[in-house]
Structure 1
Amino acid sequence: MMHGNLLPRVIMQMMGAAWRRWRTEVKATSYDSNTPLEELVAIQPIPHGLTPQTWEVLCNYWKYTEKISKINRENANKKKGTHAQGRTNIPSLEYKFSQENGRKSSRIEIQQLSRRSRKKGGAAVDDEAIRIENLLKEVVDHLLQDKPEGTQPLEVHEEAFREVFGPEHSGRVRCLGAGALPSQVFPEQCKRSSMYWQDYHSNSDLTDKFKEMRETI
């Protein structure tokens, strides 16, 4: 017999799965990504007997996800460098570095190590990796000029890394391997400022409509 506390959760999971299947069917049969949002919302009669409000919410949601997908593709194409160590992951590179050098590595050093090819005798894997190495070195040297005399390069590596690569993406930290989260590594710098969070929560009307749909379901 199913535990009483488990039953509501299972029911909600089943309802969620049914809702997603139905939403997929509606999109496949009635939604055209090439049609402007204003025209989609104005379609008559409204597909599947939906209310005007529900149809508008769905169209806004699908248009928004298309926008996010496009941004993600563009960001992927801008990706700087390619991991070239095969099955040797970031933690393994960090451990090997610490054993050989007697200290913890910086993210710049891991960035460079992970972009070097063993087949090329440790040379940079491609021209992009060389460009990034040179750029990071230039930034480190420039930052050191404004630091007190005697400041070691490693002390400014993190600042230079952030300047070259920009803020971290939600859910991961570059050159720290799987599992590292920005909120754990840089708690003082992390603010929930992703485009999704800002756009979704800045549109109070759309948020209210989603809440109404959820309550109706």
Structure 2
Amino acid sequence: MPKGKASASALLIPSLEAPAQNPDVFNHMASDGGSYSGSRPRRQCTTVQQTFPTHSTSKGSVVASSTVGSTTSVAGRGHGRQGPSRRLTDRRLESDQRWNVKVIGGTGIGESGTQFVSHMGIVSKLHCKIWQKDFVKLPTDIIDTIFRDLELLFRCDRTANTDKEILMHMSSMHRTWCGVLKKRHYTGKSFDDAIASVPASVNPQDWQIMCAKWNFSDEQRLAHDREPNRVEIFKIGRCKELPDDNEQWVDDESRSRYERMIQLSTPSLDSESGSTPISTEEAFISVMGKDRSGRIRCGGSRETCRTWYGTGEGSSSTDYQQQIRNIENNLRMEVEELRTEAQTGLRDG
């Protein structure tokens, strides 16, 4: 076959040159004995020509023909990768006949198993978007279309469990294909360059959406790599993100405190107010109060004043030391009062 770009459907299976008048015909080659002619070995091969269904993005019928049948010798020579091709035997499926395939674990077993798995990959690219990962959760009409196209060429015993396993295997194949595209056309490129690098066999609009999803995931990962501040931890522990993008707080007080923290740490749009934004840490302390001895609010169970602020660093560490001295002074005063009361009682008695 002359060197050139093959279609996406033919990448998964070995093929020979298709007839010029029908570009949708895929030739699958299988070895079938051999012979010698002169000093050059000649191998007799069998090809299976399949006419795959023609699909349209709009709603409409799917036209397909699959034939199995008689064997015809093909005279003449073709051209393969290593020179003139071998003698070929052409075999077509007769009308309304399909290959029988035994399916185990979602994959085809037997002589037609390889063709069945290859056709699964072709069908998944025809009917599923590049970003879809779990085919089991696809809409019912798409699932029915997938199995309708598979049954145009192959016959297997279908059960609910078998259908699920086939869809799961197709999902795995689709994710692997998507990962290969990401590595070749997205990774290591700027966002604009990645969008421009549209793989063959992929819709440009779908590729742009997929690149946007990858870019958003990268930004989220970078944001999550840093340690959250105490205002963010406060929200995580008291607010739940709902599927409809709304927020559900445990109580109104927590919501108002969070809004106050954000207000203090966000620059005001009113230039006449003269208010200067403060850091998120200062906003948290301003709303929630200073940390008590031995405990850090929204810092986790392992955090203490000593581990959070360090020893002898910052005003908060000074406050911590001052709190300890105040507690000691209070204890001394209480001891003195008890001693005085005891002495007074002895005198009165």
Q: TM-score, normalised to structure 1's length?
A: 0.40
Q: TM-score, normalised to structure 2's length?
A: 0.26
Higher-Rg structure is 2
Q: Which has the higher contact order (CA 8 A, sep 6+)?
A: 1
